[in-house]
Amino acid sequence: MKNICILILLTISVLSCKPYQSKVVNNAQMTYSEFRATQQSFNSKDGNISYIDKGKGPVILLLHGVPTSGWLYRNMIDELAKTNRVIVPDMLGFGSSDSPDGYNIYSEENHAKRLLALMDFLDIEDWTHVMHDAGGLWTWELAAIAPNRIKNMVMLNTIVYEEGFDPPIRFKKGFFAKTAMWSYRNGITTNMMLKGLFKSGMTENTLTKIDVEGYKTPLKEGKTKAMYYFFTQTCNALKNYQPIIEKLNIPVTIIWGKNDDFLKWSPQKERITKDLNISEDCINIIEAKHFIQEEQPEVLTRIILDFIKT
């Protein structure tokens, strides 16, 4: 009941939010339909996974989190692909990918196994691994299965340890959580939820209606089963990945929005820095909140390209 009350309060609170910006849109701005048209499809054992494969050269994998998709990286893909091969999947249950029935099918380990299957399908042996939000959890599971596949890593406001993890809602499995997931599909509540999410996750919500369409469409299509697992399982019982993380012996750089309320850097800074052996010059704390790909895409792109070169 407490979580439903929180959900209602969050929904009501966004009634006072600024509407999405009606700023002049660049004629070249990609729509979500156009983005989907560039995606290819991989038939995993659990369902189709949509992905973008663009460019040539060293491989960069861009991994989204919850409740986003590869659309999160739309403003970075082209620039990165000028000198690299860029792979951007929609994980199962998100974006354009299938959303099959089941619960444990959306576990962190199963997400990691499907990601490895995709990279095998694409004949990619190793890559630069960029992850955001819950993408960190899928990454740690992947590293446990195949530690030599990740050549180097870029961490963008991602889930690492409990100290920095502060999700706005933690549900118990059952009726109330399912009702919340259902409510995200009905249009009006979907708009309210997304406005609240980006109000909390961005310094200033400058997203246009075209931008938001890429986040709203999958929800209205019913892509909430993977979210249900995350909010009812992961948020209540975050696994301790320290033994896996400590074994990683690869170059790592951090790009973190310093004002993120969902994933806080300061409480876990020393632990992450020590466990991953990260030097101070590889820690980039930038002026942004959670959705740094929306606020500072050019900065992220530059840091990633410089990191790969060195």
pLDDT digits 0-9 by tens, 173-203 = 999 999 989 888 876 688 888 999 999 999 9
Long-range contact pairs involving 81-84 (C-beta distance under 8 Å, separation at least 24): 81/54, 81/55, 82/55, 83/55, 83/57, 83/305, 84/55, 84/56, 84/57, 84/58, 84/59, 84/60, 84/128, 84/308
pLDDT of residue 171: 93
pLDDT of residue 65: 97
Are 286 and 299 within 8 A, CB to CB?
yes
Average pLDDT, the chain: 91
pLDDT of residue 123: 98
pLDDT of residue 27 exceeding 70, the answer is no
Domain ranges of the chain: 29-169+239-309
Rounded Cα gap, residues 238 and 167, in angstroms: 11
pLDDT of residue 10: 42
Element (H, E) at 133: strand 127-133
CATH number of 29-169+239-309: 3.40.50.1820
Rounded Cα gap, residues 242 and 265, in angstroms: 16
Residue-wise pLDDT for 219-247, tens only, equals 999 999 999 999 999 999 999 999 999 99
Q: Running DSSP on this structure, what letter comes out for residue 232?
A: I
Residue-wise pLDDT for 114-134, tens only, equals 999 999 999 999 999 999 999
